[in-house]
Structure 1
């Protein structure tokens, strides 16, 4: 995951310009003799403490620079059904550090569950599950995500609850169709059985 380009200045130390490290990192010198470490595709895997030892006429000096990556999360929402209950889910995926999630409308309910997943690349995915009551009157819910490095402070995403109601109505209609079909087939079987029985009685 590429996060950006980073240059670590190492003051005016005379670090060997031939020094280099894995992942395309190179130690370079400016025209005025200042040394710096160039990381062309900085990502989470490049986090850590970098040090440079320089020897000059007056002695030696070591510079240590600790670098941390920041990855903007991807905000999304969806609807879920779990154990017969309905949930609005807000997800902030692949963030570093982890984002914080909240809901603007909760119907006075505290039934919110937060799930956090540590991803293989070092980022974190945070999900907030809000149980939607059967008598929820709002058409939309608003999820608010705040992230440490967002200059605007927070971002929002909406969940359309009408989709839940539409799904519930569709399920109810499907159940009605199933029940009508069942009784129709049952009636057909009974009528067929009675017809056969009456025919047999006549022959006897």
Structure 2
């Protein structure tokens, strides 16, 4: 059972999304919040698997709330659910630690699939957005990140480099002439070795290590 908290300052959207998920097999909405500050407290207390987080909210917005939750060490993964698809907002949310984003006009099936992906440690992000996450930023060489990458095998380095470029699992499989199942296994092992939350975090770590 996947536990979810829904965060949105609009009552109809908040309760509507909660009702949709409660009616979906495999999901339980354990709480709702109307702003970012309330969300931080609720998520700290309940530790749900996934939090659906709006961006534009009074006082503490969704980006700042996401940053606080991630920095607290919470295991909860954040999926941004917003009406705003502008790159700067989306990328700010991902850099704050969100595992993905979805527009509010997405169909029910997309919402369910995105939550399941994020809960499983994957990223629910459109193709190309992962690459833009670090595009235009100066290449970094954080000693901790460089040291962490030494734990990876040569093949895992290859896989991580392609992940950092925004490649999907099927694209990685074709590029390296291996099966998709093998790619998934490599990505899972890389996340474990680097203690990465998800695919988005892998992209950031790779950039910090100068890989990409």
Normalised to the residue count of structure 2, the TM-score between the two structures is 0.21
Larger RCO: 1 or 2 (CA < 8 Å, sep 6+): 2
Higher-strand-fraction structure: 1
